[in-house]
Amino acid sequence: MRVLSVVIPAYNEEDMIERVCTSLKDILTGEGIDYQIVLVDDGSKDHTWDRIREAAAADSRIKGIHFSRNFGKEAAIFAGLACAGGDCMAVMDCDLQHPPETLVTMYRLWEQGYEVIEGVKKNRGRESLFHRASAGLFYKIMSNATRMDMSDASDFKLLDRKAAMVLLDMPERNTFFRAMSSWIGFKTKTVEFEIRERDSGSSKWSTSSLIHYAVTNIAAYSSLPMQFVTGAGVFSLLLSLILGLQTIIRYCSGHAVEGFTTVILLILLLGSIMMISLGIIGYYIAQIYDEVKKRPRYIISRTTDDPERPGEDGETGRDIELKETQN
Ligand code: UDP
Ligand code: MG
């Protein structure tokens, strides 16, 4: 019997844990699919971990992982994949915005021999105009950088074990699941799904965390900002040629430019171009520094397989599974 592992990252989703487990159980059991659910608590501040423990105690097919702090959705996805034992692994959101029914379609495609099945958004759900515009720009840059159409990509995917292992073997710290799972290739199929309204709670992304996420991923996958530095250099070279020529002509004709206005403007313009360029280069250096430090992507403080010791939380030492994250 082949097993489907469903990896679910959860951050402050106490209301959703039980609902998502029941709805997966109903649908997958109804379809006769053998499954395992891996819930990854991304350092939640509410009772998510208690709910996960209760769910795991009630059903042996449910497994829980608890991070020592909030490491972000990407880290949670990778931790879940590393702990999942199934023959194929699906990743879906905890808020039921990714319909579990689509999971069945994905599973059937996997049975037909597809190795990477990607969920593609049919609609974008309710979003503000600003969000829509900035997401549009972000995906345009990312699609350009990865040479894949990412505009409707989502994290809702089903991967064959082989494909998931390839992803886990990738050495980079700064991961972008959406792009990486397309980049690895394999026999791929896309499945369209409707984004539902969030069942309960609110989106866990603040505007600043989205901007940070976008900037980091653009820097990780694209050298476009670096090309801006070159572009700015070429622009100021052209400007200096024109101004230089004009200055010489004026000097020769006896009308040298007077006053500091031009000088001040030039210093300000060139100064800001240089500062911005240094900032961009500095950002890339910071990213390289982050990668060479080789810190683990996440730290697991406890799992539902461990016997719980009351009173202890965020424990270090034996419980910390750095093995798969450190090499
Ligand atoms: N999530 C997470 N860590 C975070 C933020 C979000 O594990 O730091 C999870 C969250 O619990 C949910 C999924 O990622 O299961 C998608 O989050 P959300 O619904 O807030 O994002 P949106 O649907 O608004 O893109
Ligand atoms: Mg959501």
Rounded to an integer, what distance in angstroms lies between the CA atom of residue 67 and that of residue 43? 5
Distance of CA 34 to the CA centre of its chain: 28
pLDDT reported for residue 126: 67
pLDDT reported for residue 327: 43
Rounded to an integer, what distance in angstroms lies between the CA atom of residue 12 and that of residue 249? 69
How many Å lie between the centroid of ligand 2 and the Cα of residue 31? 25
pLDDT reported for residue 41: 93
Rounded to an integer, what distance in angstroms lies between the CA atom of residue 54 and that of residue 287? 39
Q: Record the tokens describing residue 155, joined without a space.
A: 């994290």
Residue 142 neighbours by CB under 8 Å, 6+ apart: 150, 179, 217, 218, 221, 222
Kindly give the parts of the chain with pLDDT less than 50.
311-327
How many Å lie between the centroid of ligand 1 and the Cα of residue 205? 7
pLDDT reported for residue 309: 56
Check pocket membership of 203 for ligand 1, CB cut-off 6 A: yes
pLDDT reported for residue 311: 47
**pTM score > 0.85 for this model?**
no
Check pocket membership of 97 for ligand 1, CB cut-off 6 A: yes
- Which protein residue has the closest C-alpha to ligand 1 atom 22? 203
The angle subtended at Cα 89 by Cα 38 and Cα 44, nearest 5°, is: 30
Check pocket membership of 155 for ligand 1, CB cut-off 6 A: no
